[in-house]
Structure 1
Amino acid sequence: SLIYLEGYLYIVYIFPAYLKHQAADTTPIQCACIYCVCVFLGVCTVYVRYKQVQALISAFTEFSLQTLNYVGFLLGVFSSVGICVVANFQKTDMMSMHLFGAGMTFGPGALYILVQTGLSYRMQPRFHGTDILWARTAIGVWCLISIIILFVSSLMMYDEMPGVEVATKLHWSPGEKGYLAHQVSAGAEWSLGLSFICFFFTYIRDFQKISLRVQPILQCNHLYSYPLYEDREPIHHGEHSPLLAGNI
């Protein structure tokens, strides 16, 4: 359900807003609230994956698997938080923070895919088959190609428009220098984001085999903070106990 909802928000709200922005050539997309919801869902997805792998490999004493799982969890959290930074610092307001958030999203996000693909390689054929490994490998290659296209097209865009603040430029016209490179760069950026969502889709069948719950554990049998009640023994009433209220 987490993954379905996250994909729904990206495809139904964020991606159409991006297409409208590119077609109308207007101000940056204002959907920070939806982005923050995606951040929450992303962190939840990363956490569930971490706990599932932790439970599966708990019987193994191999330290490298546990380290990979923990590193993957941290990378996933950093990438999700980066989305929040991108959403709340528009490039027209604070360009440096916007770029920092983008790097925080795409860098750790790509490394997260790499780490999880490596985990899948180490965990097969004991825990799953090679089909899911190949699926995650293909998405990892897709992510890598998107990064390369984004990097190359961005360099071409800056090279074609010397002396222009490309990062803060909002209005682009067909036929203008750097227009094609700008479109390719923007498309590669969102293709990269879509590859992250598709990678989460590979968790759907895995998450159908795990349930998480919150179990309360009482540290004492009262809610007082006075030392007088620290060693208070629990009172068990029986059928002969008087029906009286407690002392005041």
Structure 2
Amino acid sequence: MFWFRQGLCFLPAFLVVWSSCTFIVSYIIALFRGDVDIIFPYISDTGANPPESCIFGLMTFISSCAGIATIYARYKFVEKLTEQSSLVKPCLNKATLWFGFAACFGMCIVATFQETAVTIVHDLGALVFFVSGVVYIILQTVISYQAFPYDSSIFVCRFRLFFAVVATAAFFPTAICAYFVQQTTLHRHTYDKDYPYHIASAVCEWIVAFSFICFFLTYIHDFKIFKLQVRTEYED
């Protein structure tokens, strides 16, 4: 049997590959069309103008749907794993689930409202995505350590902790430096007064995004060992 057919590991595998392609494909198209600079544009800059905006919006929406499925599957896995023990409190598992859903909702907002069209709504969606996403992976790291060794190996726990720390550390300069950026064009120049803030914010934004992707990469091995089943009941 192929590895991606074992259990539900196809969910995080698809999420990781598709999300990576979402960022990279839109960046390449925007770069070849001359819509963005080659040196670290914001992720949203690569999906601001058509046709890349259409591709970015569609692929991001699919990523958010895959994220919802993966996050819910992880929630049910932890619930089943700890239903006969008190390793992980149900309220913590449920809170983590809702933070994950909030992050996916933020992704949908980012995909739907381009930054050049409805800036305030787009920025609000990005804030919800990053804040909720960071909280989600922090709480999942806590759950991993609480459920060890029944959940994941110590190596996986440390791997998740590393990317949770990286995402958290990169989020603050992303938000703080973005506050000082006067976004008037997709093309930036080194002589712009806010150029250093733009570079710092954009670099950290990419770091946070790919930290999320690397975090979900750790789910692949865990998802091999369980499946979800839907039971249908007919009531007269």
Match of 1:5 in 2: 14
Match of 1:60 in 2: 85
Match of 1:130 in 2: 154
- What percent of counterpart residues are identical? 27
Identify if the C-alpha distance between structure 1 residues 208 and 22 changes in structure 2 by more than 3 Å, giving closer, same or farther. same
Give aligned pairs, total. Answer: 211
Distance 1:21 1:180 in 2: 22
**1:137-152 maps to which residues of 2 (within 5 A)?**
137-152=161-176
**Code of the aligned partner of 2:81:** L
Match of 1:213 in 2: 229
Query: Structure 2 residue aligned with 1:188, among 192, 195, 204?
Result: 204
**Code of the aligned partner of 1:58:** E
**1:20-39 maps to which residues of 2 (within 5 A)?**
21=30, 24-26=34-36, 28-29=46-47, 30=53, 31-39=56-64
**1:30-179 maps to which residues of 2 (within 5 A)?**
30=53, 31-61=56-86, 65-155=89-179, 157-158=180-181, 166-179=182-195
Q: Which runs of 5+ in 2 are unaligned?
A: 1-9, 37-44, 48-52
Is the partner of 2:115 in helix, strand or coil? coil
TM-score scaled by length of structure 2:
0.81
Q: Which has the higher contact order (CA 8 A, sep 6+)?
A: 2
**Code of the aligned partner of 1:3:** P
**Does 1:197 find its partner at 2:213?**
yes
Note the alpha carbon deviations across 1:128-181, whole angstroms, 9 max, x for none: 3321111110011110121133134335x44xxxxxxx1343231233332233
TM-score scaled by length of structure 1:
0.78
CA contact (8 A) 2:109 2:121 kept: yes
RMSD in angstroms over aligned alpha carbons? 2.1
Distance 1:190 1:59 in 2: 40
Distance 1:44 1:209 in 2: 17
